[in-house]
Amino acid sequence: MLTMNSDQGAQAQKQNERQCPFGAGADPAFPPPRRNPTDPPPYYAELRESGKLAKARLWDGSEAWLITCYDDFRAVLGDRRFSADISRPGYPTVNAGMKEARGSYPSFITMDAPRHTQHRRMLTGEFAVKRMEAYRPRIVQIVNELIDAMERRGGPLDLVEHLALPIPSLAICELLGVPYEDHDFFQEQAKVMASHNTSVEQAKAASHALCEGYLRSLIRKKRADPQDDILSRLVVNQLCAGHLSEDELVSLSRLLLIAGHETTANMTAMGSLLLLQHREQWELLREDPGLLPQAVEEILRFLDPTHSGRRRVALEDVELRGETIRAGEGVIALSLSANRDQAAFPEPDTFDIRREARHHVAFGYGVHQCLGQPLARIELQTVFSELIRRLPGLRLAVGKETLRFKDEMFIYGIKELPVEW
């Protein structure tokens, strides 16, 4: 039997820690810890530099390969040998609650072709660039009304509560035809479903309340009295025409309602914090608002909130970086790491709104690439442009060491952002 001396043991342990910071005895929570809230966990940079693939141990003891480099991220997400189907054995779920919530209400984000293609096609026109550009003036109005209310109230106030969350929430409610006055209810259910700490029972209850207690009756109301909104059009053109079942429409509505706001709200709040921490870039935008579209791309690249990664399972054996990812093994493709890859972005850890960053992968890559990105871009461009124009003296109202971040959520962000001006 081979034995190790203490040096070899320590070395092996160090190697093991490098390969898997969530290894035996460690907290199995994924993702690994960050050193700085606006930067990804340092472990990802180590992995990229090593040039090797490594596995992480997940909440249920299973393992998944981590994809950290830009080229690998695009190769995996562009390859049909990797499936997004959550019902397949080996799919690396985020926790038991997500498995339950997404398993009982499957939507096209966790489906493969041909069902994914059919369902996505029902919505591509609704979120197309042209359609969203026509909606831009309404977003400008929403943002300005919220800033008016902030001015009337006066600072200090929490930017998350008064601006970052209401913008995407108001917009997606209006587009879908969901009453905004119910937002406390569905945001609460969404929050439960999107936490790493949620138990199966809690996920089941939240999912049931949102889908059965709320969305199903809303869909039936729209069937009886369709209006000019996305859900009504899905009812008339897809449900009544027999292309979607009511269960499928309930799941689809849940995806649209949830996907549309946590992501954008967290990007708005974290993006504001980032600009406040880099005052010279805030001033640059004040002097030259024409830089805004590219600044938003750089903010997306730099902050990328989807820190739980894109989850896939291999359908066949795939060779990558000298390793074989076996059929049935899970993969977690990390866009927040790919977006800091030196090979794709020179000086990747420098935040610079003048750089050309539009090839970032914060909206994913391949057939599942974010459907709502035209809407998200307009919301982010508008909020930063109006904040800088109307509240040029905006600043943090507390010491940055008191800020609390959403490490436990599937989408990373900041809990409160107290500001004054």
Q: Binding of ligand HEM at residue 255 (CB under 6 A)?
A: yes
**Residues within window 75-104 making contact with ligand HEM, judged by CB under 6 A:** 84
Q: Binding of ligand HEM at residue 306 (CB under 6 A)?
A: yes
Distance CA 267, CA 168 (A): 11
Q: Which is nearer to ligand HEM, 64 or 259 (CB)?
A: 259
Q: Binding of ligand HEM at residue 336 (CB under 6 A)?
A: no
Smallest distance from ligand HEM to CB 155, Å: 25
Which residue in 164, 231, 371, 409 binds ligand HEM (CB under 6 A)? 371
Q: Which is nearer to ligand HEM, 34 or 120 (CB)?
A: 120
Distance CA 53, CA 30 (A): 17
Which residue in 92, 166, 260, 330 binds ligand HEM (CB under 6 A)? 260
| Torsion 283-139-414-305 (CA) sign | negative
Indicate the angle between helix axes 216-224 and 246-259, nearest 10 degrees.
110
Which positions ≥6 away from 12 have C-beta within 8 Å? Answer: 4
Which positions ≥6 away from 402 have C-beta within 8 Å? Answer: none
Q: Which amino acid is at 270?
A: M
Q: Which stretch binds ligand HEM (CB under 6 A): 39-47, 49-57, 92-100, 259-267?
A: 259-267
Q: Which is nearer to ligand HEM, 26 or 113 (CB)?
A: 113
Burial environment of residue 200 by CB neighbours within 10 A (0 to 12, 13 to 18, 19 or more)? middle
Q: Which is nearer to ligand HEM, 285 or 332 (CB)?
A: 332
Q: Which stretch binds ligand HEM (CB under 6 A): 96-104, 205-213, 219-227, 252-260?
A: 252-260
- Residue count, binding to ligand HEM (CB under 6 A): 25
Q: Which is nearer to ligand HEM, 20 or 132 (CB)?
A: 132
Nearest to 74 by CA among 421, 327, 310, 400: 310
Q: Are 198 and 294 in contact (CB under 8 A)?
A: no
Q: Which stretch binds ligand HEM (CB under 6 A): 21-29, 47-55, 305-313, 345-353?
A: 305-313
Which residue in 122, 147, 375, 383 binds ligand HEM (CB under 6 A)? 375
Which residue in 109, 215, 387, 414 binds ligand HEM (CB under 6 A)? 109
Q: Which is nearer to ligand HEM, 205 or 320 (CB)?
A: 320
Q: Binding of ligand HEM at residue 264 (CB under 6 A)?
A: yes
Q: Binding of ligand HEM at residue 410 (CB under 6 A)?
A: no
Q: Binding of ligand HEM at residue 163 (CB under 6 A)?
A: no
Distance CA 70, CA 94 (A): 22
Burial environment of residue 350 by CB neighbours within 10 A (0 to 12, 13 to 18, 19 or more)? exposed
Residue 142 φ then ψ, to 5°: -55, -50
Smallest distance from ligand HEM to CB 372, Å: 2
Residue nearest to ligand HEM according to CB distances in the complex: 372
**Residues within window 341-370 making contact with ligand HEM, judged by CB under 6 A:** 362-364, 368, 370
Burial environment of residue 57 by CB neighbours within 10 A (0 to 12, 13 to 18, 19 or more)? middle
Smallest distance from ligand HEM to CB 42, Å: 22
Q: Binding of ligand HEM at residue 267 (CB under 6 A)?
A: yes
Query: What are the DSSP calls for 377-416, one per residue?
Result: HHHHHHHHHHHHHH-TT-EESS-GGG--B-TTBSS--BS-
Q: Which is nearer to ligand HEM, 101 or 375 (CB)?
A: 375
Distance CA 207, CA 227 (A): 26
Q: Binding of ligand HEM at residue 372 (CB under 6 A)?
A: yes
Which residue's entry shows tokens 């969404």? 190
Q: Which is nearer to ligand HEM, 34 or 310 (CB)?
A: 310
Q: Which is nearer to ligand HEM, 156 or 180 (CB)?
A: 180
Tokens of 261: 């706001």
| Torsion 168-171-176-178 (CA) sign | positive
Which residue in 120, 183, 355, 360 binds ligand HEM (CB under 6 A)? 120
Q: Which is nearer to ligand HEM, 238 or 306 (CB)?
A: 306
Give the CA dihedral 4, 5, 10, 12, nearest 10 degrees. -20
| Residues paired with 405 in a beta bridge | 414
Distance CA 212, CA 226 (A): 20
Smallest distance from ligand HEM to CB 86, Å: 10
Q: Residues interacting with ligand HEM, by CB under 6 A? A: 84, 108-109, 120, 168, 172, 255-256, 259-260, 263-264, 267, 305-306, 310, 362-364, 368, 370-372, 375-376
